[in-house]
Amino acid sequence: AQSVTQPDIHITVSEGASLELRCNYSYGATPYLFWYVQSPGQGLQLLLKYFSGDTLVQGIKGFEAEFKRSQSSFNLRKPSVHWSDAAEYFCAVGATGGSYIPTFGRGTSLIVHP
């Protein structure tokens, strides 16, 4: 079974600083990988996804993520954080074989200081 680990429960950055949120996955083959964002009181919105090909994927709102097979990681990055980026971020993995069920990490809460 697949699993996802987001080692950071909270991350605090200053507005304008760069950001990296960590995600490690466990799966026997190359998985499908996703990053979602959740604003307070809202559902989850897809930021970006990796299926195959180029290991650096671009998403909405200026986010990008890099798939590193050797490290089983899919870290989310943004070069300059805006106050509106404060939210909960979830990494998710989907199996590429068998029953396809998205599995989510526990989330990282991003706090942005002015």
Interaction pattern, residues 5-44, with another protein; x per rule: CB under 8 A: -x--x----------------------x-x-x----xxxx
Distance of closest approach, residue 32 Cβ to another protein, in angstroms: 5
* Angle at 7 (CA atoms; ends 5, 12), nearest 5 degrees: 135
Number of residues that bind another protein (CB under 8 A): 28
15 DSSP assignment: T
Q: Confirm or reject binding of residue 46 to another protein (CB under 8 A).
A: yes
Q: Does 100 bind another protein (CB under 8 A)?
A: yes
Q: Alpha-carbon distance 9 to 19, whole Å?
A: 14
Contact 10, 108 (CB under 8 A): yes
Q: Does 94 bind another protein (CB under 8 A)?
A: yes
